[in-house]
A = this chain, B = another copy of it.
Amino acid sequence: MNPPPNITDPLVLFMPSGKRGRFPVGTPILDAARSLGVYVESVCGGRATCGRCQVEVQQGNFAKHKIVSSNDHISPKGAKEERYERVRGLADGRRLSCSSMILGDLVIDVPQDTVINAQTIRKAATDRVIERNAAVQLCYVEVDEPDMHKPLGDLDRLKVALEKDWGWKDLLVSPHLIPRIQKILRTRLPNQPELSEGKWGVTAVVHRDMDSSRPFIIDLFPGLKNEAYGIACDIGSTTIAMHLVSLLSGRIAASSGTSNPQIRFGEDLMSRVSYVMMNPDGRGAMTQAVREAVNGLIGKVCKEGNVDRHDIFDCVFVGNPIMHHLFLGIDPTELGQAPFALAVSGALQYWAHEIDIDVNRGARLYLLPCIAGHVGADAAGATLSEGPYRQDSMMLLVDVGTNAEIVLGNRDRVVAASSPTGPAFEGAEISSGQRAAPGAIERVRIDPETLEPKYRVIGSELWSDEPGFEEAVQVTGVTGICGSAIIEVVAEMYLSGIISEDGVIDGAMAGKSPRIIQNGRTFSYLLRDGEPRLTVTQNDVRAIQLAKAALYAGVKLLMEKQGVDHVDTIRFAGAFGSFIDPKYAMVLGLIPDCDLAEVKAVGNAAGTGALMALLNRNHRREIEQAVNRIEKIETALEPHFQQIFISAMALPNKIDPFPKLASQVKLPPRKTVSEGGVAGDATPRRRSREDRDARRSRS
């Protein structure tokens, strides 16, 4: 459209993208940005009424770019922009790019109102900017009034206007909208911007997801409609988490969660699959329960964000394979048995109403792809969020739950697996274990000399050896040990020599401290005497060893597939990762050796991935392609697995060295103790058989 750029035309640089180009004097900034592919929102299509296209001129001499940028190099505000400023207000320095023409060289800042608040989205993670390219676009147009001589229908003239002003071709229309179009076009709003004579001003909500599919008009509003929302949702087995976000600005209006009501059908995934197998209506009941919970949660975030649920036009969902299937009404039975066949693994699109999601009637719904029968769309979301395939360094991404999902790779190759860690990390199957809740011990330290412990309890900032601790915990009591503290206490017991590298509590230490207590053939460590009495038994240590060995063995197999002996960075996704201390996780040998500074918890990365796919449809194509390329490893079928698992039972590992950890943490000298409690040489073979037996009885 523009004439070819001339070397004498002004040079315009857009920040933060850094894209630049020459444009003839008089070119609107908005047009210049678009021709370079710089994303600037606009709803009104250059009528200076929506205010979405704001930019800022950066003033000064940008020697590096050879640009002297100044306010003189942009046209002064015209009548329309001044009207907008008067009516709606315009912050100092802000200009409407649709109404500002290029007069000379410029550096233009496109404000990133899309910075996602770190506290809301992800704990202990950095802010992140998601480049916006939502599937939903609001397009204000002025439609010709009907003309007997050109008897094109209302909808058809709307399409003509949308093609002329916005370039939309081959638009389809959401069928529910067809009977409503007539009336919407004929509705005049009192606060409507000045319309051209004989024109009907409306805002079309256009949805375009797949590039090879035709775009859809999914809703239509009289006059200027200036806001559209979407939801990003992670359906977990225990918790459903949701963000409500503006599709125009990227602003998060609300984030919230609710417990998954399917828990009443079964605590863990496999018991829910069993419920479906045992009850003819089980699948239907669970599908209904999760959809109702999602609809309830939508109500909750809408209330928090003061948003009408009918202003939600797009939805992105992630979840593990069983949640994914139950949400879609698919029988998950096949996922409970080999070969763990997914009914569908690719990304899916729906009309939201087709699966009973109560938002705008024309809203669309997108589900990220599943990676494998045990590595779901949630893992795909986390993978999109952390992007191992975008990096040169070898990244390990783990999401620890009853099942640990493991993704390992870099831009050359990504492999994935799942490991059945069991519920030990969540405090289940531990004699004094409990879920993270007020009263639960969450941090533990053991003095290597005296073997005396100190601990902290959820609900108080005080350590147990600090004055006022007992008063502080009087209300909640000290009721048990939660997952993060179990990691710590076992690691501290190892660091202080109470347990050997093979995980045996050393009975010989009983002479050194009264906290080492004999129970028949084995010993326990007394963490807190009182009501209840909290101990760490030999069986507790074994449960943690089995869980961490399962996880580590999965990781190790993936490392073998990749041909690497170490990883560069580690990302812990999920709630568990947010609470554990990477140092102790590594001391236990839960994760491979790595620079501790490179081990990070990333919170609900699955939800962040869903949010990315919501705000930018390119991320949908990105993760679809990435998942296609990910190689899936079924760890249980690998001949090495057993041997690697046995080595991984030791702390941190029987074979693998932890040089980086050793340089940062003083590891105890190697010693072995037989389960009877006397230090010496325990044969790995005997122990391994016991471990396997223990593992079998657990499953």
Contacts and interface: CB of A to CB of B under 8 A. Distances in A.
A355 B178 CA distance: 11
A632 interface: yes
Interface in A406-444: none
A665 interface: no
Contacts of A661: none
Interface stretch (A98-106, A210-218, A265-273, A557-565): A210-218
A401 B478 CA distance: 89
Interface string A331-360: 100100011111111101111001100000
A71 to B, nearest CB: 46
B345 A152 contact: yes
Interface stretch (A243-251, A366-374, A577-585): A366-374
Interface stretch (A115-123, A141-149, A535-543, A589-597): A141-149
A508 interface: no
Interface string A146-185: 1111111111100100000000001010011011011100
A329 interface: yes
A375 B151 CA distance: 10
Contacts of A210: 170, 214
A180 to B, nearest CB: 9
A182 B328 contact: no
A637 interface: yes
A330 interface: yes
B153 A371 contact: no
Contacts of A183: 331
A634 interface: yes
A596 B181 CA distance: 47
A628 to B, nearest CB: 9
Within the oligomer, what is the number of copies of this chain?
A: 2
Interface size class of A (residues with CB under 8 A): 35 or more
A338 B146 CA distance: 9
A637 B153 contact: no
A673 to B, nearest CB: 39
A151 B632 contact: yes
Contacts of A354: 175-176
A576 B328 CA distance: 53
B344 A155 contact: yes
Contacts of A170: 210, 212
A570 to B, nearest CB: 25
A342 B154 CA distance: 6
Residue among A348, A350, A371 facing the most chain B CB atoms (10 A cut-off): A348
Interface string A56-90: 00000000000000000000000000000000000
Nearest to A334: B182
Residue among A153, A328, A372, A637 facing the most chain B CB atoms (10 A cut-off): A153
Contact of A330 (B179, B214, B372, B375): B179
Nearest to A213: B214
Contacts of A637: 148-149
Contact of A343 (B182, B351, B371): B182
B179 A346 contact: no
B155 A346 contact: yes
B373 A338 contact: no
Interface in A618-664: 632, 634, 637
Contacts of A341: 146, 151, 153-154, 182
Top 4 A-B pairs ranked by shortest CB distance?
A153-B345, A146-B341, A151-B372, A153-B342
Interface of A: 146-156, 159, 170, 172, 175-176, 178-179, 181-183, 210, 212-214, 328-331, 334, 338-346, 348-351, 354-355, 370-373, 375, 632, 634, 637
14 contacts: A148-B634, A148-B637, A150-B632, A152-B342, A153-B341, A153-B346, A155-B346, A170-B210, A172-B213, A175-B350, A179-B330, A179-B331, A213-B213, A213-B214
Given A175-B350, A182-B341, A213-B213, 14 more contacts: A148-B634, A149-B632, A151-B375, A153-B344, A153-B370, A154-B343, A170-B210, A172-B213, A175-B355, A178-B330, A178-B344, A182-B334, A183-B331, A212-B214
